[in-house]
Amino acid sequence: MEVDKGKGEAEETRKVAEADRDTVTLKSSDGKLFEVSKEAAARLSTVLAGMIAGGSIDDNGTDLKQIGSEALENVVDYCNKHANSIPSAALISSSISFNTAPFKEPEEWERKFVDRLSHDALFDLVEAANFLGMERLLDVTCHKISEMMKGKSPDQIREVFNIKNDYTKEELEEIRQELAWAFYDD
């Protein structure tokens, strides 16, 4: 983290002003600025919460060099929608005790939120959520991707997700045989 010691009082005043504001400004890799509710950002993202608490939020736009503008727009959109929707007990608990709490099914608005995204946008959003430590958004996006996978054959999956088959024929047969059970339709 960069600490700029040379700016003196003006910087201090700005920090105070920043602390008083109820939004934070985020800057995407391609330089676009987005405003997001400070409360929602701190609640939903462990990384942003750390930055806000540590005072490393820049009034002119906190640089998030790893996140493109489209993904960041979706992140901000998600945070703001989250701030507006009545937060259910389930969501609050999942954002606090992340990673061990049982997964809660996406709520209706979260479902709609990810349903409208293109494949690429969805994958970029997963990356962004991972980078920002947004457990709930990561849950919701991963859930959506797993739903896209359901009922597809390995061939279809490779096509949709652009994955190369690095197995030999023999290995594929071995994989089929190693299970204790065999589905009739396989």
**What is the contact surface with another protein in residues (CB under 8 A)?**
99-105, 126, 130, 138-139, 142-143, 145-147, 149-154, 157-158, 163-167, 172, 175-176, 179-186
- Taking the C-alpha atoms of residue 10 and residue 146, their distance in angstroms, rounded to an integer, is 50
- Cβ closest to another protein, residue 65 vs residue 164: 164
- Cβ closest to another protein, residue 15 vs residue 176: 176
Could you tell me the smallest distance in angstroms from the CB atom of residue 150 to another protein? 6
CA-CA distances (angstroms) from residue 145 to 35, 68, 77, 160? 28, 20, 19, 11
Q: Show the CA angle centred on residue 80, arms to residues 94 and 62, nearest 5°.
A: 95
Could you tell me the smallest distance in angstroms from the CB atom of residue 172 to another protein? 6
Could you tell me the smallest distance in angstroms from the CB atom of residue 111 to another protein? 14
Report yes or no: 157 and 149 within 8 Å, Cβ to Cβ: yes
Could you tell me the smallest distance in angstroms from the CB atom of residue 33 to another protein? 27
Report yes or no: 124 and 71 within 8 Å, Cβ to Cβ: yes
- Cβ closest to another protein, residue 11 vs residue 174: 174
Decide: helix, strand or coil at residue 36: strand
- Cβ closest to another protein, residue 21 vs residue 176: 176
